[in-house]
Amino acid sequence: MDESMLKQLGRIASIIHRFIEFIARWLFLAAAEITGKPEVMPPINNNITMHNTQALAMMIRQKKLKCVDVMNAYIERIETIQPILNCVAEDRFKGALEEAKECDKLLNSPDAPSAEELEKNKPLFGVPFTTKDCIGVKNMKQTAGLLARKNIRAERDAEAISLMKKAGAIIIATTNVSELAMWWESSNLVYGTSRNPYNTWHIVGGSSGGEGCIQAAAGAAFGVGSDIGGSIRMPAFFNGIFGHKPSKGIVSNDGQHPSTQTDEQNDLLGIGPMCRFATDLKPLLKIMAAENAGKLDLNAKVDLSKLKFYYMEDDGGQFLVSPVSKDIKSAMAKLLYTLEIAHNVKAEKIKIKKFKKSLALWFANMTSPEAKDFAWELSNRKGRISVWWEFVKWFTRTGSHTFVAIFTATFEGLSMRFKDDKRARLLQESQDLRREFSDLLGTNGVFLYPTHPTPAPFHHEPLLKPFNFAYTAIINVLGLPATACPLGLSNGLPIGIQVVAGLYQDHLTLAVAEEIERAFGGWQVPSVKQ
């Protein structure tokens, strides 16, 4: 079959897919309405949880707030939202409170360090934080949403968590994920399904979905997520918060499960901060990056009027990917206008043809070596599951895996192999695209691109639009820094954009994120109408 015929079949498939999406949307809405109205989010009753991380840390070290009071405020908030949102995997409230008491004891001791010393050596002293269940926290469960791992505990902290603890932060809970972090709805057979704080009928994203959810609901001061195809940025988008995927190789990927199997996968994967306030991103990234922070020039002042801005409104029409919603395009246009008025910069609209191959490029970089595929991961690395037998067990409700995990293993088994010539060609195209972007962005270029084509779908709706993560996945292929920024609400659900810059130019995306927060208001307190 020649290429023109394949393209024609692709167009026909896309038309059919959009029709199915349209019909399914109404069916999901009807099904949701049958179950009643979305659950109502409780108001935020303690102003302590409304401070950004930097302000909170400052008030603790200056003894304007007791660390125990801060911890209790967040514990009470989590206890209030958890029955509604189901965002927490495991809490450690008792241990966190004990650590908070020790912090207060130290601050009130004769040998207490000065506020200046704490700011320098432990800039997050006493601040509560959370992280996704896939990232190891010593003595806490690290299930990765896999039923076979429901009782497995991490023997040590992941390096990113260790760095946060050394900076004085206190881990308060781990949060929910998709099964083995390979889907963009956070649902598994260990902890169940997480629900969106802006409308509980809708998803929180994945795989750092519980993290995006708890941040949006003001259940933690900040969070730590990871991103191999959009797992920080999609939950940030769906939950109306900020999330940053660093430049490849900057933050250690140590201590995650599942760990990567190839250099290509490791380049795709990145750990980064998730939070409600853009101004928190830079100091959090500085801590996570450790000795690599020097590569990022995070202290440099950024003059937005001197930057070159580029943008694309969509991916150019990739097959089986939803079109970008009008509200997202409208918000993007408003941002471009704001940049022009406030900073006298006019963004250039570009067209990157290879973006229509985003999915193929990402799958090529994600392909695992023989015998170490997703079916192997689903066995908890103890053999390989039989996908067909698992489908039978799923249909009879006796299985140990989610439908989407079994489907992913099936899809991988039918797609390209590790040593295929096609994969080699796509890896070369990935390199070509990286060079193209390097030449385009240089050290003062910024690229604006949708984070996702639609606001948060209904629960289970991603099954009908599985490839919509292409918008974030292609940035992982590039290995570039990307910051997800909220741009307000569309019919009550958050929308936003991702800001991308050249390799190691993370300070540019963070500076633009802070400007977007000033112009668009940033995070908004969730409110579900009764």
Cα distance between residue 203 and residue 456, in whole Å = 6
Nearest CA among 220, 214, 205 for reference residue 484: 205
CA distance 347 to 44: 39
The dihedrals phi and psi of 498, each to the nearest 5 degrees, come to -110, 140
**187 labelled catalytic:** no
**Dist. CA 297–CA 23, nearest whole Å:** 49
For residue 357, what is the DSSP state? Answer: G
Spatial neighbors of 64 by CB under 8 A, at least 6 apart, are: none
State the catalytic residue, choosing from 162, 178, 187, 207: 207
Token readout for 167 is 């900076």
HEC sequence for 196-230: ECCECCECCCCCCHHHHHHHHCCCCCEEEEEECCC
For the chain, the maximum distance between any two Cα atoms, rounded to a whole number of angstroms, is 80
Classify 127 as helix, strand or coil: coil
Q: Is the dihedral of CA 290, 294, 300, 302 positive or negative?
A: negative
For residue 428, give both structure tokens.
């070369």
Per annotation, catalytic residue among 231, 368, 400, 430: 231
Residue (of 47, 14, 3, 38) closest to 525 by Cα position: 47
- What is the secondary structure of 51-118 as a DSSP string? S-HHHHHHHHHTTSS-HHHHHHHHHHHHHHHHHHH--EEEE-HHHHHHHHHHHHHHHTSTTPPPHHHH
Hey, which residues does 192 pair with through a beta bridge? 188
CA dist 215 and 81 (Å) reads 11
Give the separation between CA 331 and CA 494, rounded to whole angstroms. Answer: 11
Please say if 386 is a catalytic residue.
no
Radius of gyration of the chain measured on its C-alpha atoms: 22
Structural contact between residues 84 and 39, judged by C-beta atoms closer than 8 angstroms: yes
Q: Which residue's structure tokens are 């292929």? A: 477
CB 180 within 8 A of CB 190: no
Residues 180 and 144: beta-carbon distance below 8 Å:
yes
Residues 6+ apart with CB under 8 A from 340: 346, 347
Catalytic residue among 66, 122, 132, 141: 132
132 counts as catalytic: yes
Q: Would you please indicate which residues are annotated as catalytic (active-site) residues? A: 132, 207, 231
